[in-house]
Amino acid sequence: MKMRLLLISNSTNYGEDYLEWPRQYIKDFLNKTGIKRVLFVPYAGVALSDEGVEASYEAYEERVNGVFNELGFEVYSIHREKDPVQSVKDALAIIVGGGNTFHLVYMLHKLRLMKVIKEMVENGLPFIGWSAGANVACPTMRTTNDMPIIEPKSLNCLNLVHFQINPHYIDATLEGHGGETREQRLEEFLVINNNIYVAGLREGTLLSIEGDKIELMGKKPMRLFKDGSSPKEFPPGKDISFLM
């Protein structure tokens, strides 16, 4: 079976409601499957409650479920499941929410979920991920923007796609700021990892993947980086299947 993925740069644009901009894309993606109940992975959400990480997971589940209920779907969180590995095997679709990529990857390795998620998605389990959830679809998490608040067993991820994503990609240079731009940070990655593409995925955009076909959707172009060549811009609607 062919893979089906929706890899979303960000959940919320400035001034909008939570998951407002990608709602129609999510609805269309899941409606094609006929699936109504979706497994949610909340482990990137560590600071959504003042009562600790577990409470944050519960708050995250409630927040996401509120949106998905409006779209006609039900979300249930893996953190409540007695056997997380089996819950992935039993799932009809899976969502991985954004937040801190280091904590998300830490938990996926700790619970031995990387292998089973990879196997299930490669065999047709629909996958939706935003921000950190899009990062983990890549070979490694090393193009995340997040602070390393915890040390995962490995930086290796699901390797569902054979390129890297940098979510929330921005071109801006802050006046008076002496630090590196996002582009400069990605160029550092490419010096060490010169055989891989990096997709700078701007906010309000996503990648839709069906088997070997991949398409950029949204309102902004994607900036694609590769060591040894100048960055290239690809507009929404452009077939960029060469990345697969």
| CB proximity list for 184: less than 8 A, separation 6 or greater | none
**146 given a catalytic annotation:** yes
Q: What is the pLDDT of residue 171?
A: 81
Q: What is the pLDDT of residue 39?
A: 98
**28 given a catalytic annotation:** no
Mean pLDDT, the chain cut into blocks of 10 residues (244 residues total): 94 95 97 96 90 92 97 97 98 97 98 98 98 98 96 98 96 68 92 95 96 94 95 91 88
Catalytic-labelled residue, pool 49, 109, 168, 227: 168
- Tell me which residue range forms the domain holding 146: 4-243
Q: What percent of the chain has pLDDT over 70?
A: 96
- The CA dihedral of 8, 9, 15, 18, to the nearest 10 degrees, is 40
Under a CB-based contact definition with an 8 Å cutoff, are residues 156 and 118 in contact? no
Element (H, E) at 69: helix 53-71
Catalytic-labelled residue, pool 11, 146, 177, 230: 146
Q: Count the domains in the chain.
A: 1
Q: What percent of the chain has pLDDT over 90?
A: 86
Catalytic-labelled residue, pool 131, 154, 227, 241: 131
* pLDDT tens for each residue of 154-189: 999 999 999 999 999 998 666 666 667 889 999 999
Under a CB-based contact definition with an 8 Å cutoff, are residues 168 and 223 in contact? no
**87 given a catalytic annotation:** no
Q: The CATH number of the domain where 69 resides is what?
A: 3.40.50.880
Q: What is the pLDDT of residue 213?
A: 93
Q: Provide the terminal-to-terminal Cα distance of the chain, rounded to the nearest Å.
A: 16
